[in-house]
Structure formats: structure tokens, C-alpha cells
Amino acid sequence: MKKKLECIVCGRIFYQGQGIVLDVGGYTLTFHSKSCAMKFFKTLLSRLTGEEIKNAIKEVLDEFSLKLSEQRKPSSKKL
């Protein structure tokens, strides 16, 4: 039997295997949809301040930028 979970934003009940479940910093965050997850993280980010958040944003931006530049390189055929 699948476990029932509750969205921490809207309270909707959903089954394990659906929705979004994240384990972060000792907390289990359960969201029934990506819109609930976005609402939570927008609120969380708006409350963070200081150099720590700037460093984290820069690291993540650099990581995604590197991945995008790798994807944009033309692939060469190996013969």
C-alpha cells in the first residue's frame, strides 16, 4: 500500500510516488505540484539575506551556465 503524503503549502493529500518530495537540512518537504514547490521556495528565498545567499546563487548560476555551454558545443561525429 502506498503511503499518503500531505502538501506543506496547500494541504492536499497525494500518494508516495506523486508530487515532489525533498529531504533538505533534516526536513522532509512535500509538495503536491511544482506550483506549490515554487511558492514555498519563492517565500524562502525572499527571507534569506546576506553574503551566504549571494554565494549560493553564484555557485548555482555558474553550474548551470557551465552545463549550458557544454550542451551548446557542436557534437563531433566519431568515425
pTM for this model (two decimals)? 0.75
Per-residue confidence (pLDDT) for residue 79, from 0 to 100: 66
Among the ranges given (19-23, 37-41, 67-71), the one the predictor scored with the smallest mean pLDDT = 67-71
User: Does residue 8 carry a pLDDT above 70?
Assistant: yes
Return the domain boundaries, the chain.
4-72
Contacts of 39 (CB under 8 A, 6+ apart): 9
Per-residue pLDDT at 51 = 85
CA-based nearest residue to 10, from 29, 37, 36? 36
Band the pLDDT of 49: cuts 50, 70, 90.
confident
